[in-house]
């Protein structure tokens, strides 16, 4: 998925509604299938980790298969995070086996079998600097399990606590990039990317709307920033991230979305008199000169071309931006 990249860079839900296998209340813990869905891995992977590394279910009820307790699941989550960070599987398993926390004493307690994901109290506190890794891990698992509610919860919390810039660069962009690489390798998983993109789009828009609604408008407020995609551009998620980042700075934005025709863009410029216009293009722009020829209005809005689809040699003196902070800085720069 094409993205505006950083430089260098619980309520109960029925098993029928979300596809998570619910364990009967009389049987503690989660089945291997339920844990696999929650973590976004194959059941065979969990059985391999159990057989080779001893990271299996620790709860057993008479007359039934062993089940995973809360601490068992958290050890598996930790192992996932370590492997994704580059640690070998064997070393990650050793560290996961040695993990001990407040949850370890309750390893035989029953987690919420049909819940969309772990409650905050079930997640070990991240080490310093690992908040982003924890959120990436959680969002990867939730999207892999097609759990839209949990995805919304994680994104909404990150936006409220850290803002749009950090949430986009440190959480959303890495997860979406990983999903894109997985699709390129296997040709599968596009439904996961679509789900996460739609949830992220809704949460970013809600974040911007909430901030705009809380801010008292006065007659001297600057006009909005206009955010649009090139006529053939389908990926509009970066523009929603930009609008949310502008809202964090007390500025309003209008997002026209994907595949904005040039005539519609020009009409919107005339009608709104924006302070700035950001045009996003991931795909190569066929006729950049025609697209950047915005209609003359007074005062003229600042034009920022964002994304990798703009050929540098063809855009003249227009401002270019390849990352979210850069786009914000460019469009808010005084004339």
pTM assigned to the model: 0.64
In a domain, 126, yes or no: yes
In terms of domains, do 195 and 314 share one?
Answer: no
Q: What are phi and psi of 92, to 5 degrees?
A: -65, -40
- Both tokens of 320, joined, read 């270019």
Cα separation, 58 vs 161, whole angstroms: 35
What's the 3-state SS for 89-101? HHHHHHHHHHCCC
CA 308 to chain CA centroid, Å, is 20
**DSSP structure class, residue 216:** P
Q: d(Cα 237, Cα 60) in Å, to the nearest integer?
A: 46
- Whether 188 and 232 map to the same domain: the answer is no
Task: Grade residue 129 by pLDDT with cuts at 50, 70 and 90.
Answer: low
Tell me the torsion sign for CA atoms 183, 9, 165, 118. positive
* Rg, C-alpha atoms of the chain: 23
- Do 191 and 321 lie in one domain? The reply is no
pLDDT at 118: 32
Return the structure tokens found at 180. 């894109």
One domain, residues 153 and 196: yes
**Model confidence pLDDT, tens digit, residues 54-94:** 888 876 555 567 888 888 888 888 877 766 555 567 777 88
Element at 257 (helix H, strand E): strand 253-257
26 and 100 both lie in a single domain: yes
Containing domain of residue 325, as a range? 218-332
The verdict on residue 7 lying in a domain is no
Domain boundary among 148, 165, 200: 200
Of 34-43, 157-166, 323-332, least confident by mean pLDDT is 34-43
* Percent of the chain residues topping a pLDDT of 70: 73
Residue 139 makes CB contacts below 8 A (sequence gap 6+) with 151, 154, 155, 171, 172, 175, 196
DSSP designation for 113 = T
Higher pLDDT among residues 28 and 185, named by residue: 185
Average pLDDT of the chain is 77
Report yes or no on 277 lying in a domain: yes
Instruction: Say yes or no: 52 and 122 in one domain.
Output: yes
pLDDT of residue 87: 59
- Residue 4 pLDDT greater than 90, yes or no: no
**β pairing state of 66-67 and 59-60:** antiparallel
**Same domain membership, residue 233 and residue 139:** no
Distance, CA of 224 to CA of 198 (rounded, Å): 24
The whole-number pLDDT of residue 265 equals: 93
- Whether 160 and 250 map to the same domain: the answer is no
**Domains in the chain: how many in total?**
2
Out of 171, 200, 229, a domain closes at 200
């Amino acid at each position: 998925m094409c993205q505006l990249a950083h430089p260098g860079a619980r309520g109960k839900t029925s098993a029928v509604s979300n596809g998570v296998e619910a364990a009967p209340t009389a049987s503690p813990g989660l089945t291997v299938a339920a844990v696999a869905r929650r973590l976004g891995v194959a059941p065979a992977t969990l059985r391999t980790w159990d057989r080779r590394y001893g990271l299996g279910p620790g709860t057993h009820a008479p007359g039934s298969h062993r089940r995973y307790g809360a601490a068992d699941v958290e050890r598996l989550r930790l192992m996932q995070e370590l492997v994704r960070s580059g640690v070998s599987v064997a070393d990650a398993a050793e560290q996961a086996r040695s993990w001990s926390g407040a949850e370890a004493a309750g390893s035989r307690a029953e987690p919420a079998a049909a819940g969309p994901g772990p409650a905050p109290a079930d997640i070990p506190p991240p080490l310093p600097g690992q908040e982003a890794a924890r959120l990436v891990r959680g969002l990867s698992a939730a999207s892999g399990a097609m759990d839209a509610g949990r995805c919304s919860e994680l994104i909404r919390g990150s936006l409220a606590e850290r803002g749009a810039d950090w949430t986009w660069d440190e959480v959303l962009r890495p997860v979406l990039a990983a999903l894109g690489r997985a699709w390129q390798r296997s040709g599968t998983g596009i439904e996961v990317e679509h789900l996460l993109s739609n949830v992220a789009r809704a949460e970013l828009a809600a974040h911007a709307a909430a901030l705009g609604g809380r801010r008292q408008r006065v007659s001297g407020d600057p006009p909005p920033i206009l955010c649009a995609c090139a006529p053939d551009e389908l990926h509009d998620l970066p523009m929603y991230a930009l609008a949310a980042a502008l809202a964090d700075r007390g500025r309003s934005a209008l997002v026209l979305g994907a595949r904005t025709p040039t005539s519609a863009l020009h009409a919107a410029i005339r009608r709104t008199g924006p302070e700035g216009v950001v045009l996003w293009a991931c795909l190569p722009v066929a006729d950049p000169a025609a697209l950047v020829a915005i209609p003359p209005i007074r005062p003229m809005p600042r034009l920022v071309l964002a994304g990798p689809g703009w050929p540098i040699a063809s855009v003249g003196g227009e401002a270019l931006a390849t990352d979210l902070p850069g786009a914000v800085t460019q469009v808010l720069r005084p004339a």
